[in-house]
Amino acid sequence: MTGPGTGFLYPFIDGDERDGAGLLDDLAGSAAAKQADSHRLRAATLQACSGEIGRAADALVRRFGAGGRLFAFGNGGSATDADAFVSLFARPPRGRALPARSFLADQAVVSALGNDVGFDLVFSRQVIAYGSAQDVAAAFSTSGSSANVLRGLAEARRRGLLTLGWTGYGGGDMATSGVVDHLFVVESSSVHRIQETQDAVATALWVEVQRRMADE
Amino acid sequence: MGGRAGHRAGAGAEAALPDAGPFRDLATTALALARRFRGGGTLWCVSPAWPWHARHVAVEFVHPVVVGTRALPAVSAEGPDVVAALRVGARPGDMVLALGPAGDATVADVMRRAPTWGLRTVWIGAGPRPGPGAADHVLWAGGDEGVTAFDGGLVLVYHVLWELVHVCLEHPGLLVEETVPDAAAVCVTCADQGTVAEVVALLSGNRASVRAGGVLEEVDVTLVDVPAPGGLVLVHAGSAVAVVQDGAP
């Protein structure tokens, strides 16, 4: 019954097991360890990325100042990270609201493009439709190698948009693509820990943008 | 999960590790959800304030990132009337996981009504905690609610919850199915305590059809100024004894 993902971490107990107390202790201990891992990775990544966060914030402030807009995209959980990033800018918990939109927001557009031209092009085609040279494209991928994300970034670069990329696993293809102006790499092989830390970096970037705009 | 001790965005791991309570709550919640999944239940995910979190939780269960992990039914319920969507869509034995701050009136409403539909409830959020009894399971992160919703703090809570649910599913002996009330066998409102029920229809002769614990039954409403269908009443021994006002069961 032990599954491939987690079974090695926990004692195997047979189907007649009835006392859940031991399991709950194990689970609570595991949860505490995961949180500690996540916090360590977050702190290390924020430190490693601090210079890039500052440079990206400077560039974003210039783009917004010139009338640019922010577009974000990703797949699956990373799609929701893109949505969160957009929400942080467009409907911020505090500070100044800025124009931002997710390329996942419209099911009709995503499914039309996916069906007619292929899922690899669902983001690049939206860059073509909506993007202009003063805008910003922000892409989230835990592997850094999602084809549609990379094509979206490449199209954005071709059209003069500022490009931001979040990746994990040593950077993946995103790190070698040469189309990302500001790259944030989370050095982990856990999809979950990567996503949590990408969100922390994205939020730190938003904080820096807000700080610069408040100083203007 | 920063919980009682709390943590701040960017804080070092050792700086503010919370006490064991929140982790134990997480484990207990995972076991409860695993039991319901084992019984065929669906997890409904709701987040009016942070809709992307509801979608993230749902996709986590439906399309797991760990290869070989089974897909489990989870749905993000969105739209202008989440209560109506759950009322018609959810079945007794399902679960609802809501994400939102303690002051989220829609989440509070869902948490209050869901037991009448036979759902187990989980509320995940950050900032000031909701009051006791706000949900079957309350998982709370520390920090500023406005920022923790974005900086990975809440994501960590449901990532770990997802993983623990799958660990629990590897322990079949502990997944004894909870009994979902059977309308023919029991009267769920005859227990010693009052039970919150949702009015389904007003009938003649000071009677009303109500739903409690996912089960429909007819009760006497002579004692109360019975609300329209959708309203909540407190039922005891076959009679509605009080009307439940918003925010004050």
Which amino acid would we find at residue A84? A
DSSP one-letter code for A34: H
Closest CA to B6 of B162, B155, B126: B126
Q: Which of B14, B156, B157, B165 to mutate to test the interface with A (most CBs of A within 10 A)?
A: B156
Across A65-86, average pLDDT = 98
Read off the pLDDT band of B187 (50, 70, 90).
low
Read off the pLDDT band of B181 (50, 70, 90).
low
By the CB < 8 Å criterion, does A108 face chain B? no
- A76 min Cα distance to partner chain B (Å): 7
- The ipTM is 0.91
Identify any residues that bridge with B235 across adjacent strands, giving them in sequence order. Answer: B195, B240
Return d(Cα B195, Cα A15) in angstroms, integer. 35
Chain B residues in contact with A2 by the CB 8 A cut-off are 170
- B121 min Cα distance to partner chain A (Å): 19
Residue B67's pLDDT is 84
Read off the pLDDT band of A215 (50, 70, 90).
confident
Across B60-67, average pLDDT = 92
Other C-beta atoms within 10 Å of B24: how many?
17
DSSP one-letter code for B15: G
- A110 min Cα distance to partner chain B (Å): 16
User: Mean pLDDT across chain A, nearest whole number?
Assistant: 93
Return d(Cα A56, Cα B157) in angstroms, integer. 29
What is the per-residue pLDDT across B126-153, written as a single tens digit (0 to 9) for each? 999 999 999 999 999 988 878 899 999 9
Return d(Cα A146, Cα A71) in angstroms, integer. 17
Other C-beta atoms within 10 Å of B144: how many?
17
Contact criterion met (CB < 8 Å) for B59 and A93:
no
The residue in chain A having the minimum alpha-carbon distance to the alpha carbon of residue B22 is A28
Across B69-81, average pLDDT = 96
Contact criterion met (CB < 8 Å) for B65 and A192:
yes
Residue A18's pLDDT is 64
By the CB < 8 Å criterion, does A94 face chain B? yes
User: Mean pLDDT across chain B, nearest whole number?
Assistant: 87
Q: Which of A14, A196, A205, A207 to mutate to test the interface with B (most CBs of B within 10 A)?
A: A196
Highest mean pLDDT among A199-203, B170-174, B181-185: A199-203
Tokens of A145: 């190698």
Instruction: List all residues 6 or more positions away from A122 whose beta carbon is below 8 Å from its beta carbon.
Output: A103, A110, A113, A114, A148
CA angle B40–B43–B46, rounded 5-degree value: 160
The residue in chain A having the minimum alpha-carbon distance to the alpha carbon of residue B13 is A39
Q: Do A135 and A70 contact (CB within 8 A), yes or no?
A: yes
Contact criterion met (CB < 8 Å) for A4 and B67:
yes
Residue B4's pLDDT is 34
Contact criterion met (CB < 8 Å) for A80 and B17:
no
Residue B149's pLDDT is 93
Q: Which residues in B6-115 belong to E strands, given as ranges?
A: 43-46, 74-76, 95-99
Q: What is the pTM of this model?
A: 0.89
Instruction: List all residues 6 or more positions away from A33 whose beta carbon is below 8 Å from its beta carbon.
Output: none
Chain A residues in contact with B28 by the CB 8 A cut-off are 24
DSSP secondary structure of B205-229 = TTEEEEEETTEEEEEE-TTS-PPPT
Length of chain A: 216
DSSP one-letter code for A94: S
Lowest pLDDT segment from A89-93, A202-206, B169-173: B169-173
In terms of Cβ atoms closer than 10 Å to its own Cβ (0-12, 13-18, 19+), residue A114 is: middle
DSSP one-letter code for A163: E
Length of chain B: 249
DSSP one-letter code for B178: P
The residue in chain B having the minimum alpha-carbon distance to the alpha carbon of residue A207 is B147
What is the per-residue pLDDT across A28-46, written as a single tens digit (0 to 9) for each? 999 999 999 999 999 999 9
Closest CA to B32 of B98, B131, B120, B160: B120
- Give the helix ranges, DSSP H, for B98-144: 105-113
